[in-house]
Chain A
Amino acid sequence: MIRTENLHVDLDPFHLRDITLAVEKNDFFVLMGPTGAGKTVLLEALAGLTPIQSGRIWIGGRDVTKIPPEKRAVSIVYQDYALFPHLTVRENILYGLHFHKMDPGKAHARYQELLEALNLSPLQGRFPTYLSGGEKQRVALARALIVNPGLILLDEPLSALDPGFRQEIRGIMKKLHESSGVTFLMVTHHFAEAISLANRGAVMSNGRIEQVGTIEDIFQRPASTFVADFVGMKNLFTARFNGTRAFIGNLEIESAGPLPKGYGHIAIRPEDIVLSTERIASSMRNQFLGRVTGIFDQGFYYEVHVLADAFTFKSLLTKRSLFEMGIREGMEIFLSFKASALHTL
């Protein structure tokens, strides 16, 4: 769907360097990275809103490098919604249709369909000033989707929302993505959003792409220390849930509370995993025997990789505990963590 080649942008104070990226049709792709990494600039470059110094962009198989934004069939949704303040909700949503040839009957049907899907019917006559954040975001989504873009670009669409609305819009976006067949490209710095919504993603830093891949790859197998530091939550697994138990492979993990039904992701912070040479009797309900597969110097800490069943757990140890326990590669070791250390995503 999107392909970029050696994209360079200089836009004081931001810049992009050598961005080569591919997003497949119908992907839900997330761009992650610290503030100032150039994520929004990349979105605007794709949308044709920022001049690029060199490189090329293909969208939907078409070279759009020199094509103006209105002819790219790309819709952008900003964090601050950018609704037209002088137009009503209805006029905002229908705005794009002034410039697209669409059969009036079809246009009306599409409008009704979006009102329905985004639950906007009661708000049609209102002006944006009188909408809540969640409502504004739903209007912005409807306005972007009505022109049937092949690609929709979302610039941190959830971060300005209250947590309650965030959950709601997240659900709506997931549904829209599944039902519309539109490719979504979203900037975020919430990992929970990335993990629950996206199938693929990229991590950016300082105007460059650090890693592109599946979400699992990015969180499980960071390609650089930057990505590893950035994603932080290093123990991330797909799990099957049943009551208060999560199953990954043959491992059965106890959670502190009831888990959602079906499948999902679980994550454990490395600092929450305790290593011991002997089985310890404590309140920690999750204890597994594994084998040390790697020891990595991280400055103040050592990161120890332990393979249990078919899964690599990562734990942080001080240099002193590492030596006291005499940990070396290949040795058998117990890893334990509290039920409350288990996060579900």
Chain B
Amino acid sequence: MRRNELFFWMTVSFSLLIMAFILIPLIRMMTAPSFSGLQEAFRDEEVMRSIWLSIYTAGWAALISFVLGTPLAYLLARVDFAGKRLVESIIDLPIVIPHPVVGIAILGVAGRGSWVGEILADLGIRIMGSVTGIVTVLTFVGLPFYVKAAKEGFESISPRLERVSRNLGASMFHTFFRITFPLAWRSLFIGLIMCAARAISEFGAVVVVAYHPMIAPVMIYERFEAYGLKYSQPVAVWLVSICLLLFLLLRFLTLRRKIEI
């Protein structure tokens, strides 16, 4: 593209507009609270508990997605079967359904009065207003992000590597754990982060299933409703900062060994 044309400058200015649109509110929010406000929020046990609950439940959602979603992602990446498109569309459903509807749908199955709910109740598992309920909802909304990223990761690995491994005497299990998994790990990890990030940001579905125990987004909403913007901002700042820090730490720990590809 020539740099002295009007067209080029239009593309640049629109891009800058988008950058500003995303960054200005975020920077404004991060810098708005006073130091004392942040300190106060940090000492507020309720706030910290909600942030840790958010991270804890999102972590579980990512872990469950990892265990349950990896085989599906592999299947979708490697096998062509009738109805594959349909399965892929079903995986995408949680992304397009309005969030409160997700909460209502899950309560409809797992709540009182449905047979699944009865069985769960007999087992002593409660969905409504419980950590289990929050994890269930977060897994529901986060799973698609993991499965898609993991599928793309598996697709990027040549099936020939697996074939050679099989020929050299490795069973499919050995091949998967020695070749496919280590090579896909980077993509799987990025999928896990996307899944956890999506889970942490969920509000609408959680608020339907469990207002209490309170996760951070619910807490931020409550502070905003009851006391106003000034009191919700510090909570938001802590949530965002702690999450960023955790992700950086995880990334450092898991991807420290440079994989040569």
Contacts and interface: CB of A to CB of B under 8 A. Distances in A.
Nearest to B171: A70
B163 A44 contact: yes
B141 to A, nearest CB: 32
Interface string A51-94: 00000000000000000111110111010101011100000000
A147 B168 contact: yes
Main secondary structure of the interface of A (DSSP, over half): mixed
Interface in A141-187: 143-144, 147
Contact of B165 (A68, A86, A95): A95
B17 interface: no
B260 A96 contact: no
Contacts of A100: 169
A82 B261 contact: no
Contacts of A192: none
How large, as a class, is the contact surface on chain A?
20 to 34
B84 interface: no
Contact of A82 (B163, B169, B171, B260): B163
Contacts of B179: 84
B166 interface: yes
Contact of B164 (A72, A82, A98, A128): A82
A99 B167 contact: no
A98 B170 contact: yes
Q: Of residues A44, A47, A84, which shows the largest number of chain B Cβ atoms within 10 Å of its Cβ?
A: A84
Contact of A95 (B168, B182, B183): B168
B154 to A, nearest CB: 15
Nearest to B159: A49
B161 interface: yes
B167 A75 contact: yes
B159 to A, nearest CB: 9
A82 B170 contact: no
Interface in B66-105: none
A35 interface: no
Nearest to B161: A82
Contact of A78 (B160, B169, B171, B261): B160
B18 interface: no
B174 interface: yes
Contacts of B165: 84, 95
Interface in B161-197: 161, 163-171, 174, 178-179, 182-183
B175 to A, nearest CB: 8
Nearest to B182: A86
A67 B156 CA distance: 28
A129 interface: yes
B160 A99 contact: no
B163 A49 contact: yes
Contacts of A144: 167-168
Interface string A186-224: 000000000000000000000000000000000000000
Contacts of B167: 47, 49, 69-70, 72, 74-76, 144
Contacts of A128: 260
A85 B260 contact: yes
A127 interface: yes
Contacts of B168: 70, 75, 95-96, 99, 143-144, 147
A145 to B, nearest CB: 11
Interface in B118-166: 158, 160-161, 163-166
A44 B166 CA distance: 12
A127 B164 CA distance: 17
Contacts of A86: 182-183, 259-261
A269 B27 CA distance: 77
27 contacts: A44-B163, A47-B167, A49-B166, A49-B167, A68-B171, A69-B167, A70-B167, A70-B169, A70-B171, A71-B169, A72-B167, A78-B164, A80-B158, A82-B163, A82-B164, A84-B165, A84-B183, A85-B260, A86-B183, A95-B165, A95-B168, A96-B168, A98-B170, A98-B174, A98-B178, A99-B168, A99-B169
Interface of B: 158, 160-161, 163-171, 174, 178-179, 182-183, 259-261
